[in-house]
């Protein structure tokens, strides 16, 4: 609880926490939606925002408010799958590389370095194009997870490298702890905060990439996400026709989401870094 109170002293954390909560509540509203998001032409098309349709309706004959709530939910689901799976890969790579050292370390870090330097967007596009037929929220999440771990594996590795030189590692090894339990029980608690703060960053990255892929028509455009909403709006020339409510809804929602996630990650990682924490919270 104390952690939470300290975090809330940072206005960025407070703001981003409130915005994220609001967005999550909005996403949860989709469970009570009066319309089925997979059906088209359930409401009159292209209506301006009104009391009956809070954010208007689109050219597919869907209510934008309720589609948007499905969209936020689905985008967050994709981001969570991508974030959690890529965290698992990052932790595995980072811990093995950091703990084993030597040639294992060199090979694993070479792989992650290669992923860092090549223009990943193109490779992801190439893969998305080929799995387009079987694309759904899960495959999309996994696809993004496959490419989103390289930097964080490096961060975790350097943490393990420093933990390995600590005395408690020697103590554990001398008292007969096996490698796996040692890493999981002794190192994991140190890595957890890092895993969490990189998770937020990675989720924002995944949502951004999902939107880009969707706008290019590389995902399943029948599933409402923030990206596919924009895809349809652009496809129907909503800007040209002046249907601002249709274009602005996904844009504004995604900007809120990105900024909130970023502020939260900055605030959390500043809190985790003892040097900056002393500046803000004061020495204890």
Site string for another protein, 37-76 (x = CB under 8 A): ----------------------------------------
Query: Which regions of the chain does DSSP assign to beta strands (E)?
Result: none
What is the residue-wise DSSP string for 2-48?
HHHHHHHTSHHHHHHHHHHHHHHHHHHGGGG-SS-TT--SSS-SSPP
Cβ-based neighbours of 90, under 8 Å, separated by 6 or more: 149, 150, 152, 153, 156, 195, 198
- Of 83, 75, 110, nearest to 229 by C-alpha is 75
Measured from the CB of residue 223, what is the shortest distance to another protein in angstroms?
19
Site string for another protein, 134-153 (x = CB under 8 A): x-------------------
Q: Which of 14, 33, 80, 127 binds another protein (CB under 8 A)?
A: 127
Does residue 161 belong to the site contacting another protein (CB under 8 A)?
Answer: no
Binders of another protein among residues 93 to 112 (CB under 8 A) are 110
Tell me how many residues contact another protein (CB under 8 A). Answer: 42
- Give the nearest distance from C-beta 181 to another protein in angstroms: 34
Query: At 216, is the secondary structure helix, strand, or coil?
Result: coil
Please report how close the Cβ of residue 65 comes to another protein at its closest, in angstroms.
21
Give the other-Cβ count within 10 Å of 259's Cβ.
15
Query: Least distance (Å) from another protein to the CB of residue 259?
Result: 5
Is 7 near another protein (CB under 8 A)?
A: no
């Amino acid at each position: 609880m104390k952690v939470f109170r300290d975090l809330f002293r940072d206005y960025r954390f407070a703001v981003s926490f409130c915005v994220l909560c609001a967005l999550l509540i909005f996403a949860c509203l989709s469970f009570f939606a009066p319309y089925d998001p997979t059906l088209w032409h359930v409401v009159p098309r292209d209506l301006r925002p009104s009391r009956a349709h809070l954010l208007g309706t689109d050219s597919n004959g869907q209510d934008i408010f309720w589609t948007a709530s499905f969209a936020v939910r689905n985008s967050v689901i994709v981001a969570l799958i991508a974030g959690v799976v890529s965290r698992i890969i990052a932790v595995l790579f980072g811990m093995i590389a950091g703990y084993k050292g030597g040639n294992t370390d060199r090979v694993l870090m070479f792989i992650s370095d290669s992923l860092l330097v090549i223009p990943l967007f193109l490779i992801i596009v190439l893969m998305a194009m080929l799995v387009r037929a079987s694309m759904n929220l899960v495959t999309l999440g996994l696809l993004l997870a496959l490419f989103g771990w390289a930097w964080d594996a490096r961060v975790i590795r350097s943490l393990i490298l420093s933990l390995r030189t600590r005395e408690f590692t020697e103590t554990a090894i001398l008292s007969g702890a096996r490698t796996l339990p040692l890493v999981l029980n002794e190192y994991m608690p140190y890595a957890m905060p890092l895993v969490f703060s990189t998770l937020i960053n990675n989720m924002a990255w995944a949502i951004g990439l999902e939107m880009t892929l969707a706008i290019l028509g590389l995902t399943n455009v029948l599933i409402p996400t923030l990206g596919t909403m924009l895809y349809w709006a652009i496809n129907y020339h909503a800007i040209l026709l002046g249907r601002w409510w249709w274009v602005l809804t996904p844009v504004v929602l995604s900007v809120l989401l990105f900024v909130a996630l970023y502020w939260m990650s900055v605030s959390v990682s500043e809190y985790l870094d003892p040097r900056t924490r002393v500046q803000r919270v004061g020495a204890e």
